[in-house]
Amino acid sequence: MKLREIVELLDGVLLTDAEHLDREITCAFGSDLISDILMCTKEATLLLTGLTNPQVIRLSDMIDLLGIIFVRGKKPADDLIEMANARDLPLITTKFTLYKSAGILYNSGLRSCKI
């Protein structure tokens, strides 16, 4: 599934470079606990989270993230968006909750990442 479709499905807004919309997304994972995210992601994945601190972007240096969806209307500060652009990491914000966002994407055929 293209990131463009995900943005549409979640009625979201892309915060990083527009070229990110053509990125192919193969699977997803959702959590607000960093250790969970580190422990559970065995392949490159899209992350759905409510965390908006710099460590969320730093996470993408340790594990392969295809992009981050900030749920519950959360929007990271501008310096985080810069950090993400420097890493070529797409960031999206949606007003939907983690549960609703995950449900919509799962029902649209986006599978869970291997854990």
Partner 1 sequence: MAVYCNISEDAQQKYEHFTKEKPNPEMSIEYKVGHKDFVNSGKASSEIKLMLKRLGVNPEILRKVAVASYEAEINVTAHSLGGDIICDIYLDCVHIKFIDNGPGIKNLEKALEPGWSTADDLVREMGFGAGLGLPNIKKNADVMHIESAENQSTILQIIVFY
- Which residues contact partner 1 (rule: CB under 8 A)? 32-36, 38-39, 49, 51, 53-56, 58-59, 61-63
- Report DSSP state, residue 20: G
What the block records as the tokens of 64 is: 């392969």
DSSP string over 45-102 = EEEEES--SHHHHHHHHHS-EEEEEE-TT----HHHHHHHHHTT--EEE-SS-HHHHH
Q: How far is the CB of 78 from partner 1 (least distance, A)?
A: 14
The Cα–Cα gap between 31 and 49 comes to 5
Q: How far is the CB of 103 from partner 1 (least distance, A)?
A: 22
Cβ closest to partner 1, residue 13 vs residue 33: 33
CA atoms of 29 and 46, how far apart (whole Å): 6
Nearer to partner 1, 8 or 61 (CB): 61
Choice between 41 and 93, CB closer to partner 1: 41
Compare residues 13 and 38 and give the one whose CB is closer to partner 1.
Answer: 38
The nearest distance, CB 90 to partner 1, in angstroms, is 19
Q: Are 75 and 105 in contact (CB under 8 A)?
A: no
Least CB distance to partner 1 at residue 109 (A): 27
